[in-house]
Amino acid sequence: MTRFALKREISLGDLLTPISILVSLVAVLITWENDRAERTKAYADGIRHSCSTVSAKLQRWGTLADRYFDDIQPVLITVAAETAQTHTIQPARRDLYRGLMDAEGKASQRIVDEQLEIAYMELYGYVPSLRPPFDGIRERITEAESDCHERLAAALQSKIMDQKLLQSNDSKDMGNALRAEVKEERNKLDARIRAITDPLSSNLLKLINLSDEELVDSRKRAAESKIFENMSGSAEN
């Protein structure tokens, strides 16, 4: 009859086999966790970069809008000289209209060249829910520019038809009156655009300051993105 004997000794090889398996498993888990952390950080940094780009682009919109007022300075000089010489509204009104239209075209082209839409599209890829409120914000800025240009054009035309200014032989009188109107509208537009873009930049900063895990969590992003929903329709002074 065969007898079975238990081996009381455990060899070194017997010990190393499960230990090596355990070490390999731990190494795999560590590698997986590191990869996950790197992917999380890369995704979160992508959102932060997109937020920063959009914020910078919108802040720059104010700077670009302000250049319109520099563009019309030469035509103001021309108009002032013409009225002082002719004491009539023509050709001053015609030249003013052309100058304003030319400046309007340059202002629109600057916004196109700035590629704001491209900056938005990248952010929409991460947070699609931001598109409606951001579109509304862009529309408000465009409307602010349009309103300003229309008011300024009417005010400048009115000054050109001012009989007291028309009768002056000194171009400085008309020039100063025109520049005063430009300065007033310039300040109004700057304040209005800031009232739109400053809260937006502040809210984008809140997104940027979320942790990597919070930014990757779509529910958390959606919750934080709700702060933008009421911005597109809010009024500014």
Domain ranges of the chain: 41-228
Give the pLDDT of residue 237.
Answer: 44
Among candidates 89, 76, 84, 86, which has minimal Cα distance to 171?
A: 84
The yes-or-no verdict on residue 208 having pLDDT over 90 is: no
pTM above 0.95, yes or no: no
Report whether 230 contacts 134 (CB < 8 A): no
What is the share, in percent, of the chain residues with pLDDT greater than 90?
42
What the block records as the tokens of 7 is 């081996």
53: which residues sit within 8 A by CB, 6+ positions away?
119, 122, 123
Among candidates 187, 164, 195, which has minimal Cα distance to 87?
A: 164
- CA-based torsion, 160, 164, 168, 170: positive or negative: negative
The yes-or-no verdict on residue 228 having pLDDT over 70 is: no
Give one DSSP letter per residue of 222-235, joined into a string: HHHHGGGTTTTT--
The yes-or-no verdict on residue 213 having pLDDT over 50 is: yes
Report whether 52 contacts 208 (CB < 8 A): yes
- Segment 52-58 shows an average pLDDT of 82
Residue with the bigger pLDDT between 217 and 17: it is 217
Among candidates 195, 92, 220, 212, which has minimal Cα distance to 137?
A: 195
- Segment 208-224 shows an average pLDDT of 75
What does the pLDDT look like over 58-77, one tens digit per residue? 888 889 999 999 999 999 99
What does the pLDDT look like over 77-96, one tens digit per residue? 999 999 999 999 999 999 99
What the block records as the tokens of 114 is 């700035």
What does the pLDDT look like over 118-175, one tens digit per residue? 777 777 777 777 777 778 888 899 999 999 999 999 999 999 999 999 999 999 999 9
First vs last Cα of the chain: how many Å apart? 104
Average pLDDT across the chain, whole number? 82
